[in-house]
Amino acid sequence: MTRVFNELVAQFGRSASLMGILSRPTPELSIRRPAVVILNTGIAHRVGHHRMYVTMARELAASGYLAFRFDFSGIGDSASRGDGLSQLEAHQADVSEALDWLTASCDVNEAVLIGLCAGADIALNYGHSDKRVVGLVLLDPTIPPTARFYAHYIGRRLTQLRSWWSFVSGRGRIWQELSERARLAFGAAPTQPTSADDHRIRSELAQLYVKSLDRNLKLLIVLTGGPLEGRQSYREQLFEALPNVPFRGRVSLEHFRDADHTFTSENARARLQELVLGWIKAIPITHNPPPTSAGDAASAAFGERPSRGGAPWREDHSGG
Amino acid sequence: MTSFHFGSRQRRLFGYYEPAQANFSKVRAVLLCHPMGNEQIFAYRTMRQLAARLVPSGFHVLRFDYFGTGDSYGDTGEGDLASWCGDIETAIEELKEITGATKVNLAGLRLGANLSGRVADHRPKEISKLILWEPLAADELAVAGFGCPAARAERNLRLIGSDIVEGFARGAIKTALLPSSTLVLLTARPPSPTEFGSLAVEYVAEASAWIEERLDTGTIPAEALQRIVDWLQ
């Protein structure tokens, strides 16, 4: 089969310690904007669960977009930064350096960040601060629980015999949640850090969403139906958990009821791919013109087969 | 460290090469063979840490992704047991070409162990030492392409009990013609007494290549990795 993309390996960043792979259309195709940057999920490396980020990047490239998958410092094949930054600060700096590399190598001035779970939270944290970011695709971002979530959660757990035993014996999350809420209802101080942090997390998330909307970032939020221990149980949970954020009419929100958190189902991944591609195509681009073709983009610093003497980087034009 | 693509135009593979840090008169090289599917994701940190321990001990190390897996070209689910063995042979040639080594060491985890064993059986003159870390039994092998498209998974299920799978499976290892310096490393459960014939077998308890519940902690099985480095020394 003739492929309509090729891939380049890039070592980049302040000390060339970050590693990423750029998927791009073959040189005869024009490059479309924006570029897409795909972030790690937790400590899983740039390939993603079920190889979903490889497939996503290649399909985006086949449709004319530059798609860059990279490893945060200390994850996959990227070295730790060693500059004393906290993990959150380091990830923010990593995203910034990935965009710097795309700007310098491929003339990218508009990009969409895609992240799942922790990757979504990092995208939300970073996106509003960089004018090159024009949109965010947040897959199962952190959503605080709501009363309706607890009702769903408890209802589902109580249908399980094992949960009944945990409940009756005073163990398990249901018991802890109910007893904690009963304590709080009677004016006791919270005993668990999660309860104590709840207000702060809601406040921070609300601020991040407001900043993103104030910057007119396009937001696509995809929630999975999730397993029993999921972060959300219904489509509107985000709106109810953060009632002061003017989401309505300003974000695209999709609920994949039958998908699990890592999109194990091939059908769910295909549906997600189609959704993301259609959403990106609809983003209006207003800035500088792109490179005329994929052949003009990315002219330096790409993976070369090592020789016995060294000389590391080369562009791979094979296209597979 | 160098990341690059290699192999034929039709079968481009992704590799990650790290040169030896210590100077030794004899060139020593190790090819690491990943497990498959999500197991590759789960074990990636462990394999990278294994490479990081081998390099200062004087080994050139190449990690790579089979066709249709990881960062290599090819659609997910493309390929089969025989063609992935061919990928290992391609990677062996690449590693020899890069380093000038005449023989290489192979270390394979899970499905990577089964495939490494088969390659070593077919190319004994090119393999110096062999590590087989938790090779898969026949029933596990048939569904090893977890994450592959459903149609392929069903086809794999039909392979259970077939000669193809039996020939690659853990049960076939004791009858294969493997290098005399072969170590079967088990970390899930001890072997049965005669399972691997006369091959050297070591059991390192509680040293699985990954623990799914602890993936976010980045835990690695340090004792098992050190045992591999020691064996290859």
Q: What was the pLDDT predicted at A320?
A: 37
Pick the more confident residue, B213 or A4.
A4
Counting one residue from chain A and one from chain B, the pairs whose CB atoms sit within 8 A come to 89
Q: What was the pLDDT predicted at A170?
A: 56
| Cβ atoms of A224 and A237 closer than 8 Å | no
3-class DSSP assignment, residue B136: coil
Give the residue-averaged pLDDT of B187-195: 86
A79: in domain: yes
Which positions 70-99 of B are in contact with A (Cβ < 8 Å)?
70-71, 73-76, 94, 98-99
Q: What was the pLDDT predicted at A154?
A: 75
Q: Give the residue among B80, B107, B76 at the shortest CA–CA distance from B92.
A: B107
Q: What was the pLDDT predicted at B140?
A: 82
- CA-nearest residue to B11 within chain A is A320
Q: Positive or negative CA dihedral for A139, A143, A147, A150?
A: positive
Give the residue-averaged pLDDT of B128-151: 75
Say whether pLDDT at B138 is over 70: yes
Region of poorest pLDDT, from A16-30, A177-191, B3-17, B119-133: A177-191
Which positions 19-38 of A are in contact with B (Cβ < 8 Å)?
19, 21
- Per-residue pLDDT reduced to its tens digit, B198-226: 899 999 888 888 877 666 777 888 899 99
Distance of CA A197 to the CA centre of its chain: 23
- CB contact under 8 Å between B38 and A50, yes or no, is yes
- CB contact under 8 Å between A9 and B69, yes or no, is no
| Cβ atoms of B167 and B108 closer than 8 Å | no
- CB contact under 8 Å between A320 and B3, yes or no, is no
Contacts of A47 in chain B (CB under 8 A): 40-41, 44, 70-71
A83: in domain: yes
Q: What was the pLDDT predicted at B149?
A: 47
- CB contact under 8 Å between B71 and A50, yes or no, is no
Q: What was the pLDDT predicted at B183?
A: 94
- Please give the ipTM for the structure prediction: 0.90
Give the residue-averaged pLDDT of A5-9: 94
Taking the CA of residue B196 and the nearest CA in chain A, the distance in Å comes to 32
- Give chain A's largest Cα–Cα span: 72
Give the residue-averaged pLDDT of B128-155: 72
Say whether pLDDT at A185 is over 90: no
Region of poorest pLDDT, from A169-178, A254-263, B34-43, B101-110: A169-178
- Give A282's DSSP letter: T
A185: in domain: no
Q: Which residues, in sequence order, are CB contacts of A94 under 8 Å at separation 6+?
A: A13, A18, A70, A72, A73, A78, A81
Distance of CA B148 to the CA centre of its chain: 19
- Per-residue pLDDT reduced to its tens digit, A97-151: 999 999 999 999 999 999 999 999 999 999 999 999 999 999 999 999 888 888 8
Contacts of B14 in chain A (CB under 8 A): 9
Say whether pLDDT at A313 is over 50: no
Q: Which residues, in sequence order, are CB contacts of B158 under 8 Å at separation 6+?
A: none
A282: in domain: yes
- CA-nearest residue to B95 within chain A is A306
A181: in domain: no
- CB contact under 8 Å between B71 and A54, yes or no, is yes
Query: Is A306 in CB contact (< 8 Å) with chain B?
Result: yes
Q: What was the pLDDT predicted at A198?
A: 82
Give the domains, in start order, of chain B with CATH numbers: 2-232 (3.40.50.1820)
- Per-residue pLDDT reduced to its tens digit, B26-73: 899 999 999 998 899 999 999 999 999 999 999 999 999 999 999 999
- Per-residue pLDDT reduced to its tens digit, A18-76: 999 999 999 888 899 999 999 999 889 999 999 999 999 999 999 999 999 999 999 99
Pick the more confident residue, A127 or A226.
A127
- CB contact under 8 Å between A305 and B4, yes or no, is yes
Contacts of B16 in chain A (CB under 8 A): 77
Q: What was the pLDDT predicted at A301?
A: 43
Q: What was the pLDDT predicted at A28?
A: 86
- CA-nearest residue to A52 within chain B is B76
Considering chain B, what is the average pLDDT of its residues?
87
Q: What was the pLDDT predicted at B193?
A: 81
- CATH number (domain holding residue A119): 3.40.50.1820
Query: Is A206 in CB contact (< 8 Å) with chain B?
Result: no
Q: What was the pLDDT predicted at A2?
A: 65
- CA-nearest residue to B51 within chain A is A77
Taking the CA of residue A308 and the nearest CA in chain B, the distance in Å comes to 5
- Per-residue pLDDT reduced to its tens digit, A165-182: 555 555 555 556 556 555
One-letter amino acid of A46? R
CA–CA gap between residue A195 and residue A189 (Å, rounded): 10
Q: Give the residue among A253, A266, A55 at the shortest CA–CA distance from A137.
A: A253
Contacts of A48 in chain B (CB under 8 A): 41
Say whether pLDDT at A312 is over 60: no
Mutate to test the interface with A, among B1, B2, B13, B69 (most CBs of A within 10 A): B2
Q: Which residues, in sequence order, are CB contacts of B147 under 8 Å at separation 6+?
A: A50, A51, B37, B38, B76
Number of H helices, E strands in chain A: 9, 8
Pick the more confident residue, B80 or A3.
B80
Contacts of A312 in chain B (CB under 8 A): 2, 4
A42: in domain: yes
Give the residue-averaged pLDDT of A279-303: 63
Q: Given the structure tokens 């160098």, which residue do they identify?
A: B2
A256: in domain: no
Say whether pLDDT at A286 is over 80: no
A170: in domain: no
Q: Given the structure tokens 């310098």, which residue do they identify?
A: A104
Residue B2 has φ and ψ, to the nearest 5°, of -135, 125
- Residues of chain B above pLDDT 70, percent: 90
CA–CA gap between residue A39 and residue A72 (Å, rounded): 8
Region of poorest pLDDT, from A58-67, A133-142, A286-295, B98-107: A286-295
- CB contact under 8 Å between B45 and A266, yes or no, is no
Query: Is B2 in CB contact (< 8 Å) with chain A?
Result: yes
Q: How many domains in chain A?
A: 1
pLDDT band of A315, cuts 50, 70, 90: very low
Say whether pLDDT at A310 is over 60: no
Say whether pLDDT at A299 is over 90: no
- CB contact under 8 Å between B12 and A55, yes or no, is no
Q: Which residues, in sequence order, are CB contacts of B204 under 8 Å at separation 6+?
A: B185, B186, B187, B221, B223, B224, B227
- Per-residue pLDDT reduced to its tens digit, A196-209: 678 899 999 999 99
pLDDT band of B177, cuts 50, 70, 90: confident
Residue-number span of the structural domain to which A77 is assigned: 1-140+261-320
Q: Give the residue among A136, A142, A131 at the shortest CA–CA distance from A39.
A: A136
Q: Which residues, in sequence order, are CB contacts of B229 under 8 Å at separation 6+?
A: B50, B53, B54, B57
Query: Is A309 in CB contact (< 8 Å) with chain B?
Result: no
